[in-house]
Structure 1
Amino acid sequence: MRRLRNTDSPTEQEAAILKAAAEEVALVGVGRLSMDVVARQAGVSRSTLYRRFPSRDALITALGRMTFDFAMARLQTVGIDDGPQAAAVAAFREGVRLLTGEPVVRRFLQLDGEFTATTEMLGEARLFLVSAATAMARALRAAGASMPDDDLMAVAEVHIRLAASLVQVATPALDVTDDDAVTRYAWTFLAPMVI
């Protein structure tokens, strides 16, 4: 049940606002995010909302950063003990899980066909791609990948872009909702790219 008035600390109010914004984005997308709905759902007044986030773009940017941090934390759960190819498969599988199962991530990366992104949102999507590829390249290196840095980064970016593409556009080549199929696909086509 939603509280009528949120009298928590500013930090707690910001958390409530970001939670409400995430729920709203998951329902209607970034382009139709309503500041009035977010304020109501967070239990704060419009003036409190705008004190915490001076503009709609500021709120979207903060939500994008929060979503990005969540995604990076999930991708860092990939094990590196079984070698670079196994790490590549695990990272791809976790990326597909993230892209299929997290509606806010899907909306921010425009995987649901919504093309009304703000400049800040596009910047966050680019940052996500570069950071995810960098994190994956580091994990693959830690798992024992011996290829040159530029090649490793290129392979990591291919994995990230392919995961996003496969999730966005259905193909008979892979059912992205079938974890076993995703694993087999990654072992067959992606693991051999990592040396």
Structure 2
Amino acid sequence: MRRRNNDSRTEQESAILKAAAEEVSLVGVGRLSMDVVARQAGVSRSTLYRRFPTRDALITELGRQTFDFAMARLQTVAIDDGPQQAAVAAFREGVRLLSGEPVMRRFLQLEGGFTATADMVDEAREFLVSAARAMAKALRTAGATMPDDALLAVCELHIRLAASLVQVATPTLDVGDDAAVTAYARAHLAPLVH
């Protein structure tokens, strides 16, 4: 039995989100149990619902937090070796993130009888747009000279392709092999950036 969490509101919310992330990692978004989350966070159901009035509100906040973490990771891509190498590095880091972060994987899979909420769809769309813009900014800083709309389209293509390759296994690319992911990006994606 966990000790009752009498921490501040912020600390309770953090404990709730941590417990929700653990639960989503184990059972998926569709089977997230508010009772389990409350118990794991050491808060009462009433405290949980004061912090997150609905299950959808909790899932949406967890999604936002997960996507913010992803954006922070994508901003660590090196830009010193030119736009094509930066594109390869961004793709590789995106594949690592999408295949290695359990909560991100669960959000992408949306398995079973689960239907995404409108807020989650909006969050995913916002993440895609934000990630594409961040990648375009990094590639521009790395020296990309192509028009803005074309650069943004290429960045969105990279992100959508990374998500697809991680979600659906293919004999074309082992997403768990960094060298193979790098070679794939260098051969097929880097030439799109100039």
Per the normalisation by structure 1, the TM-score is: 0.96
Task: Identify unmatched segments of 5+ residues in structure 1.
Answer: none
The verdict on how the C-alpha distance between 1:115 and 1:187 changes in structure 2, with shifts beyond 3 A counting, is: farther
Distance 1:97 1:112, change over 3 A: farther
CA contact (8 A) 1:111 1:168 kept: no
| Counterpart Cα distance in 2 of 1:94 and 1:20 | 26
Corresponding position of 1:50: 49
Shift of 1:188: 0.4
The whole-number CA distance in structure 1 between the counterparts of 2:43 and 2:112 is: 31
Residue type at the aligned position of 1:182: V
Corresponding position of 1:140:
139
How far apart, CA to CA, are the structure 1 residues paired with 2:132 and 2:112? 23
Whether contact under 8 Å (1:84, 1:194) holds in the other structure is yes
Equivalent AA in structure 1 for residue 49 of structure 2: Y
Asked whether the equivalents of residues 17 and 49 of structure 1 are also in contact (C-alpha less than 8 Å), the reply is yes
Q: Which residue of 2 aligns with 1:184?
A: 183
In the alignment, what sits opposite 1:122? 121
Q: What is the match of residue 5 of structure 1? A: 4
Corresponding letter in the other structure for 2:11: E
- Counterpart of 2:78 in structure 1 is 79
Aligned mates of 2:184, 2:135 — CA distance in 1: 18
- Compared CA separation, residues 43 and 104, structure 1 to 2 (3 A): same
Residue identity matched to 2:170? T
Does structure 1 retain, via aligned residues, the 8 Å contact 2:30–2:110?
no
Q: Distance in 1 between matches of 2:53 and 2:94?
A: 33
Check conservation: 2:30, 2:112, Cα contact below 8 A: no
* Aligned position for 2:171: 172
**CA displacement 1:134-183 (0-9 Å, x = unmatched):** 11111100100000000000000000000011111111111000000000
- How far apart in 2 are the matches of 1:10 and 1:70? 21
Q: 1:86 to 1:113 in 2, by over 3 A?
A: farther
Runs of 4 or more consecutive aligned structure 1 residues displaced over 6 Å after TM superposition: none
What amino acid is the match of 1:63? L
Instruction: Provide the rounded CA distance (Å) in 1 between the counterparts of 2:173 and 2:113.
Output: 23
Distance 1:76 1:131, change over 3 A: same
Equivalences for residues 8-157 of structure 1 within 5 A: 8-110=7-109, 115-157=114-156
Please, what is the CA RMSD of the aligned residues?
A: 1.3
Q: Deviations 1:115-138 (Å, cap 9, x if unpaired)? A: 522221111111111111111111
Instruction: Give 3-state SS (helix, strand or coil) of 1:132's partner.
Output: helix
Cα distance in structure 2, aligned partners of 1:113 and 1:57: 17
Tell me how far apart the structure 1 counterparts of residues 123 and 71 of structure 2 sit (CA, whole Å).
13
Which segments of 5 or more consecutive residues in structure 2 lack a partner in the other structure? none
- TM-score, structure 2 normalization: 0.96
Amino acid at match of 1:192: P
Give the letter for the 1:118 counterpart: T
Matched pairs, number? 194
Instruction: Give, as a single letter, the amino acid of the residue that structure 2 aligns with 1:104.
Output: V
Please tell me the residue identity of whatever aligns with 2:61: A
